[in-house]
Structures are given as structure tokens and as C-alpha cells.
Amino acid sequence: MAQYTLYFATNRGHEGKDRWHPSGYGPGFSSDGYDNLRFGKLTIKADTDDVKKLLAQTEEKDPRRTGNGEKLAGLLGKAAEKAAITAFPDSVTQANPDNKKVTEQKNASADMFREIKAIMEETNDVLVYIHGFNVSWSEAVGSALALELMLNRPSQMPANPVPDKQKSVKVILFSWPSDGKMIPWRSYTSDRKDARRSGEAVGRAILKLRDFLIQLRVDARKQEQRLCKQSMHLLCHSMGNYVLQNSLDKLLEHLTSNHLPRLFENIFMCAADVDDNVFENGKPMVRLPEICRNVYIYSNRGDTALKISDATKGNPDRLGHDGPSRPQALHHKINQIDCSNIVTGFVEHSYYLWATVNEDIDQTLHCIAEDDQSLRRRRRKADGLNVWKLT
């Protein structure tokens, strides 16, 4: 058996009597409010051979495509039902020598960020992961850990997609109260409302991260220390992109200037359940490129989940289905990657966990050139410099 550790932030309500060591987190908001955040870490155990088998599983039609991260997420999600969870407390009440109770004020987010900083100093990048619609707490944990294991696996391709890996990736989960129920109309509407509210919690988390990084720089200058050179990234899946969209308003509301902080190296928008015109002037995500160096939009025209969102929920065309409505008008930081030709069947919506798409993300994390045809399995499409298709 192998043991896996995951750091997380959540605005879900805890389950169990002990909020600092809960049995899990439920489908509703924290009792302290929808923008209340709990930071913590957990450990799970899973059979080593089962994990290795799924990481090396090949596609029958094309043996070069390896790694079934979707099934791995299911395996780890089941194990997450028995996870050992520890939440970082905001305050701790202890008895002093005079038998008086004294409350020590603590900063839960800073405590977790300090542990993550130590991980980054060991040549680890950090990738923050926000899950999508219809995902329970244990499923969110399973997907986050599967994403981490897939990104860190040795290459199985004949032409190594990332030669001589020098660093690994640590995934941090942000989990919002997605219902995790298959009641199409009611569950989708509820999750979309919860995703909108959860944007405020993500905005708060980003502001906490900004403040922590600012203080790190101040302390480093005082002590003449060098900060680590590792990067932070963000990956949002499905309705998690709607959570991100709503976090931008929260950021702008609380900043003293009109400038958004650049916190992330890369933002990956996978199967994005948001409008296809969100990057146009006057639309909600036009300023997203300010908080990162690059944005990558992964789309699939065969994505049944987004077809349903489009056709039956009264939504406009979805970004994750056909890509941006006007790709030629995109900001130069934004790249569109069309996955339609290679993802079908069971991976049509969660393809970021699967073989070729996951490898393309990994190559970006390792700074492989966008147009490196000797390593990448993508080709530039004729209709734009920043428009690609995976083959």
C-alpha cells in the first residue's frame, strides 16, 4: 500500500463532531457562511500495483496513448472516503499553568502556505485544482490526487514528451459544494448557484495567497534570502471555470488599485462550462490574463456534458465545446487547444486526466516550446497563431 497526501481549501461544511479532524466535507456550504474557508491536508492509502497499472494503461486503438487517470480518480476517490483529515485551525484554546483557558490566534491559510513553500523549495511546482459540476468531496479528492500522479508519472511514449524531468508537481485542491447528485435539472441549477457564490471564496483565497507572497518577499529582503524559483499554476475543470469567473469580481472589489496581481504562471481551462465569449471586451473574464503568464483553453466538440449544458439548460454556446467565439480576437496570452480528434467515449469530458491531453499539460508545465513537433502531439491550426489541435 502507498500513502498519498493532499493539501486542500474548501468552503464546504465539515462532517463529524470535530471540525479540525472531520470525517469529510458535505454537499452544502460551511455553517460559517459560503465564503468561509477551511484549509487542511489529508492522507489516503491505495494499492501500489493498482495505481501503477492505471498509470501505465494504454489505449487499445493507439498504444502510444497511456494513462487512465479517470479510472485512477475513481480508485482514489473510493479510498478518500476513509481519509485521515486535519484542518489548520484559525485559533486554538489551551489551558495555561493557572488552569485558565487562553485562545491563541492563528492564521490557517498562512500555516498551510508555509508548508507548501517548503514543498516548492524541493523543486516542486504547485498546481491549484478547482473541480466541476456534480462532484462529491471524496470524488474531488480522488480527481486531485489522480491529476498529481498523472502529471508526475514517467513517460510511456516512445518519444519522451518531457525529457529528463527536473521537477515534480504538487496539486492543491479547492473544493466547493458541488452536489454530487445525478438529478440533471435541479442538481445543475443548484451547483451553478453554489459555483457563483464560491467565486467569492476563491477570490478570498487568492487574496490570502497574494498577501502571503508579499510578506515572503519582505521577509526575504530583510534576511537577504533567495526565494525559490518554482511556479504556481491553476487548472479548472467544467463548472470550476465558472467559479474562477466569479472570483475575478471579488478580487477587483477588494484591491486598492485597479491592477490584478499576477500569481500564476499558467491557467488551464478544461471543458469550461462558461459562455464562449467570456474573453471579449465587457465580458466577465476579459481580465483573466492579468493574473497569469499564459491561458490554455482545452475544448472538445464531442463533449456530451457541455452539449447538455448548451441545449437543455438554456446556456449560450460553451467555451469548452467549440472554443472561443472569436479566436482571432484573443489576447496574445491565450491559447486554444482542440482535443476533438483524439478524445471520445468515456474521456469526452474529463480528458485532462487522460493520456495525451494530460501529457500536453505536463509539457507546458515543463516549458516545452508550444510548436515543438518533435515532442508535442499538437499542430497549429490554419486559422490562428494561438489555435492548436491535438493529434
Q: Answer whether 155's CB lies under 8 Å from 359's CB.
A: yes
Task: Give yes or no for residue 270 having a pLDDT over 90.
Answer: yes
Query: Model's pTM, two decimal places?
Result: 0.90
d(CA 115, CA 237): 26
* Interior angle at CA 130, CA 388 and CA 163, nearest 5: 50
Task: Give yes or no for residue 360 having a pLDDT over 80.
Answer: yes
Neighbours of 332 (CB within 10 A): 9
Q: Confidence class of residue 93 from pLDDT cuts 50, 70 and 90?
A: very low
pLDDT tens digit sequence for 107-158: 788 888 888 888 877 778 889 999 998 899 999 999 999 999 999 987 655 5
Q: Where are the domains of the chain?
A: 2-91+101-390
Residue in 213, 295, 195 with CA at minimum distance from that of residue 261: 213
Q: Answer whether 204's CB lies under 8 Å from 250's CB.
A: yes
Is residue 206 classed as helix, strand or coil in its secondary structure?
helix
Q: Confidence class of residue 185 from pLDDT cuts 50, 70 and 90?
A: very low
Rg of the chain (C-alpha set): 21
Q: What share of the chain is helix, strand, coil (3-state, %, to 5)?
A: 35, 25, 40
Position 31 scores a pLDDT of 81
Is residue 36 classed as helix, strand or coil in its secondary structure?
coil
Task: Give yes or no for residue 304 having a pLDDT over 70.
Answer: yes
Beta-carbon contacts of residue 203 (< 8 Å; ≥ 6 apart): 246, 247, 248, 249, 250, 251, 253, 254
